[in-house]
Amino acid sequence: MLQRRLLTTICRMTEEAKRLAGCAAVDNHVKNNQVLGIGSGSTIVHAVNRLAERVKNENLQVFCVPTSFQARQLILQNGLTLTDLERHPELDVAIDGADEVDSELNLIKGGGGCLAQEKIVAGCAKSFIVIADYRKDSKNFGDQWKKGIPIEVFPMAYVPVIKTIQQRFGGVAELRMAGPVVTDNGNFLLDWKFDKVHDWAAVNLAIKMIPGVVDTGLFISMAERVYFGLEDGTVSFRDKPVH
């Protein structure tokens, strides 16, 4: 009973941390007449709820580009205006979550499987803002996130891509299974559990050059700012380092 109460408290605290981060991003970066990229995952739900509140209370006009089927449903359920990259190829702000954030503000994304579309939308935005709870803040990749780096591949290529990654970079790459997992684009997902710290910018480019790879869950030097909801009910943020 005590353990169950503790787990319930932790879950509540984590959800509140996600909500705080989502609200901070929407309050600080969304303005009237903007085109917004709407990310995927559990944290983005709180950001979209806050966005819908502001649209209603302040009579804002915003246009929302989704990164997944889930994001599209969130936009429609909240009565927000849905658009796409054909009509709005340039976005003002994209807001999305992350599975892990390192000290350089590089991200691992794609735990939910939407990495390719998330990266496209983030790349079209003048400003890419990330929201996360305190569990996602790491010095190095792998400190917190243990499920590996997601990699989207064409179905026919998954075996040679696995072999190539393991031979060149070590670790273990596995097909994500749920029969297997199929992305919104009809592709497969691999999870690469690396066994050492790499030059992530170089590894990202090298993996993307392997025939059959659609994209990786490494978002290198893309995030402008990350908001972290903390355990004590406050929000901290980090900006991209200037080198």
For the question of residue 118 being annotated catalytic, the response is: yes
Structure tokens that stand for 48 in this block: 């979209």
193: β partners: 172
Out of 16, 53, 90, 118, the active site residue is: 118
SS (H, E, C) the chain: CHHHHHHHHHHHHHHHHHHHHHHHHHHHHCCCCEEEEECCCHHHHHHHHHHHHHHHHHCCCEEEEECCHHHHHHHHHCCCEECCCCCCCCEEEEEECCCEECCCCCEECCCCCCHHHHHHHHHCEEEEEEEEEHHHECCCCCCCCCCCEEEEECHHHHHHHHHHHHHHHCCEEEECCCCCCECCCCCEEEEEECCCCCCHHHHHHHHHCCCCEEEECEECCCCCEEEEECCCCCEEEEECCCC
Contact 129, 94 (CB under 8 A): yes
Catalytic residues: 118
